Amino acid sequence: MSSITQSIPDFQETLAANRLKLTRQAPRVLQINTGKMCNLTCVHCHVNAGPHRKEIMSLDTVERILDWLQHTEIEIIDLTGGTPEMMPHFRYLVERLRGMGREVMDRCNLTILNEPGYEWVADFHAKHGVHIVASMPCYCPDNVNAQRGDGVFDSSIQALQTLNALGYGSDPNLILDLVFNPVGASLPPEQADLEADYKRELKTHFGIVFDQLYAITNMPIARFTSYLKRQGRYQEYMQLLLDHFNPASIDGLMCRDTISVGWQGELYDCDFNQQLGMRHGDLAVPERVWELDLCDWQGRPIQMGQHCYGCTAGQGSSCGGATV
């Protein structure tokens, strides 16, 4: 353990001290990371994604995942990245998944709708009933631009208005959820109160409607960790997470019913473990999802680390927002 985190106990020790166990349920969600290519370079990004990243899922990997998936009862396919739409086989993957009757969620950064060459995104999503989970760190331009880059707020508002015009946020078959991440080293506010603020402000000032808000804690890994260390606040942030450890958050954690898949098909317990390289299989030969026996998966221990405090602080945090 590095000196900077010596005062933070091992996560499993904290579970034991609270007489808790973190165990799997039957998998309900397959979260697929399509790659690290992204049109943005956000401060809080736990993937270190950006425009110059070359990691991207191949068609062969897409086909192998689809072949395996059709023999499972997994209900929801959660597509993340990077920017999922920048994966060349994105439309093929979505069409196949919807043809199999699976719900498809897309972790969309909104600005991709306004990028040259991606004018198809909004209409394609609406046509196929894709559930959009869109990053929108705040309803104020200064906060959004500080976290995601100059001009991102205006582009995001334009994209949301485009989606609203297609029925997103009002048609029950076109779900539009937004994601809040704090700016800097703090925990998210209470999710229900924040959602009410978002709905009021976005409706009043821009005529925008949406379904739910997910409040997600910034994870102390990758680019956000680098940011914290530059600010001299890494130890402070880890202590904040520990001080707000909430035993009630455990039952709702995503690692319990989600399988995370990397851009090369590797198996992980969650997208955060994925970015830390905490994969299943040995280091030389990682296990791929198409090799997985789901009965075996349910009996495996979940791999944990100190970053898990990010999902268990305060109201809890998972890919679906607060867990308590």
pLDDT tens for each residue of 281-309: 877 788 999 999 999 999 999 999 999 99
Dist. CA 174–CA 166, nearest whole Å? 9
Note the pLDDT of residue 1. Answer: 40
Tens of pLDDT, residue by residue over 248-284, are: 999 999 999 999 999 999 999 998 999 899 999 877 7
- Stretch 35-47: mean pLDDT, rounded? 64
Encoded tokens for 301: 């221990």
Dist. CA 18–CA 39, nearest whole Å? 42
Dist. CA 177–CA 156, nearest whole Å? 13
Strand order of the β-sheet with 267-268 is: 213-215, 176-180, 131-135, 103-108, 76-80, 29-33, 258-261, 267-268
- Check if the beta carbon of residue 220 is closer than 8 Å to that of residue 238: yes
Interhelix angle 191-206/152-165, nearest 10 degrees:
80
Tell me the three state secondary structure of residue 140: coil
Dist. CA 115–CA 125, nearest whole Å? 16
Domains, the chain, in order of start with CATH, read 3-312 (3.20.20.70)
Dist. CA 85–CA 110, nearest whole Å? 11
- Stretch 89-113: mean pLDDT, rounded? 96
First to last CA, the chain: 30
CB proximity list for 320: less than 8 A, separation 6 or greater: 214, 252, 254
